[in-house]
Structure 1
Amino acid sequence: MKTQLIPILLAIIAGAVLPFQAVLNIQLGKTVQQPVFAAFASFVLGAIGLFIYLIIIKFDFSTIILARNASPVVWLAGILGAFYVAAVIILAPKLGTALTFGLVVAGQMTISLILDHHGLLGLPVKQINWQRILGIIMLLLGVIIIRKY
């Protein structure tokens, strides 16, 4: 567990910043009267930030040519990310951030169980069991409680 402490903390922090990202993107979308532009701006600024990070760590840009060896399907990740950010910007003002992210997490966990169970896209196989299903049910109950109150 000790060796996983930092990755666990980073995962929690990554999850914690998502509602802030959504609220800030919502504000930008309202300012320009177009939520999808806010998603676009988020990705542009994120790309600039990542480019600066790559420069700081002295990334060997000559290795980019290796990307041509990647399966064409991996390039869908950017489109999926754009869909996610745009959906959250559009849905959070309508549903509230707690319900939106509760539903997002429930969706993530459900699909994650399926991906793990079948070892899809090169993931190690981790079988679905009753404990994992119970976890999903508890998440969904949490979403229902958030929605009701």
Structure 2
Amino acid sequence: MNPSVLAIVAVVLGGAAASLQAPTNAKLANAVGSPVNAALVSFAVGTAVLAVVAFLMQARPDFATVRSAPWYLWIGGLYGAAFVVAATWGVPRLGVATTIILMVAGQLLLSLVLDHIGFMGMPKQPISWGRVGGVALVIAGVVMVRKF
């Protein structure tokens, strides 16, 4: 399979999983008492699953290299935690579709800036009217999903 097609399929499935995760964690928040507790349980389960997958794939991190990485490379989980808690809290108040599309809009807005500056050495992709228009269409989608 073409690597680009495989990447597209993986990302679409990951997005679908996020849509499933949000209402699941919202229900879990009711059971465990808060969105933060639900996120904690969610991350614990995710960590256990990743440990099993890493074991099965015989993926062994080089801990010396990991320890020597700059501090800001260690905080990726912080962003994931913010995402999960926000989704867990937002779904019962806004619905699944509105929560997810608002999250996508937030991701796209910041992504335009990160692409433009080549954040963390990523390839630069200048902000263009077409890219801004694409984000505007997503934001229009937020309004349509919310109002209609």
TM-score normalised per structure 2: 0.95
Partners of 1:15 and 1:143 lie apart in 2 by 16
Deviation at 1:68, TM superposition (A): 1.7
The runs of at least 4 aligned residues of structure 1 exceeding 4 Å deviation read none
- Pairing 1:86-97 to 2, within 5 Å after superposition: 86-97=85-96
Per-residue displacement from partner, 1:3-48 (whole Å, max 9, x unpaired)? 4111101111100111111111111111122221110000011011
Partners of 1:147 and 1:59 lie apart in 2 by 43
State the one-letter code of the partner of 1:84. F
Q: 1:32 to 1:60 in 2, by over 3 A?
A: closer
Aligned residues: 148
Show the counterpart of 1:53: 53
- Pairing 1:9-24 to 2, within 5 Å after superposition: 9-24=9-24
TM-score normalised per structure 1: 0.94
Show the counterpart of 1:133: 132
Partners of 2:9 and 2:110 lie apart in 1 by 23
Q: What RMSD, in angstroms, separates the aligned Cα atoms of the two structures?
A: 1.4
Partners of 1:34 and 1:105 lie apart in 2 by 24
Show the counterpart of 1:7: 7
Partners of 1:25 and 1:138 lie apart in 2 by 28
Q: 1:90 to 1:135 in 2, by over 3 A?
A: same
State the one-letter code of the partner of 2:75. L
Q: Secondary structure at the match of 2:66?
A: helix
State the one-letter code of the partner of 1:12. V
